[in-house]
Amino acid sequence: MKKTREEVMADVLDLFHQLADDWEYSGEITPKTLLFTDIGLRSLDVVVLAVSIQEHYGQVLPFADLFAAMGQHGVQDISMGEWVDFVYEHLTLGNQGLGNQGIRELIS
């Protein structure tokens, strides 16, 4: 089954919409919504959501690499669109994940 970026976005938005009522978050969730600033998630929330997304797609995704890179570069937040991009990117490559070199090769 082929998945487009839009379909991955729809999947991830669906997951967030399922949970938004529990969070009592009434704002609209769009690709520009920031997970920490706008929704108020904490680091552990994002880590656990990552596990759920892997469960949904039945595939290990290298979120640990992403979180490490964000920490190293002092990136304080991530938007829904960026989150989806990361998932979309790695769903192509099976269980191995990309790593920095792999991503450079893919996009070169």
Interacting residue ranges for another protein, rule: CB under 8 A: 1-5, 8, 18-19, 22-23, 41-45, 47-49, 51-52, 54-55, 57-60, 62-75, 78, 81-82, 85-86, 88-89, 91-95, 100, 103-104, 106-107
**Cβ closer to another protein: 33 or 66?**
66
99 neighbors 61 (Cβ within 8 angstroms): no
Smallest gap from residue 95 Cβ to another protein (A):
7
Smallest gap from residue 27 Cβ to another protein (A):
15
**Cβ closer to another protein: 30 or 47?**
47
Give me 69's structure tokens: 């890179």
**Cβ closer to another protein: 24 or 28?**
24
Smallest gap from residue 2 Cβ to another protein (A):
5
The span from the CA of 48 to the CA of 43, in Å, is 9
Q: Which residues of 74-84 are buried (b: 16+ CB within 10 A; e: fewer)?
A: eeeebbbebbb
Smallest gap from residue 35 Cβ to another protein (A):
11
**Phi and psi (nearest 5°) for 34?**
-90, 130
59 neighbors 91 (Cβ within 8 angstroms): yes
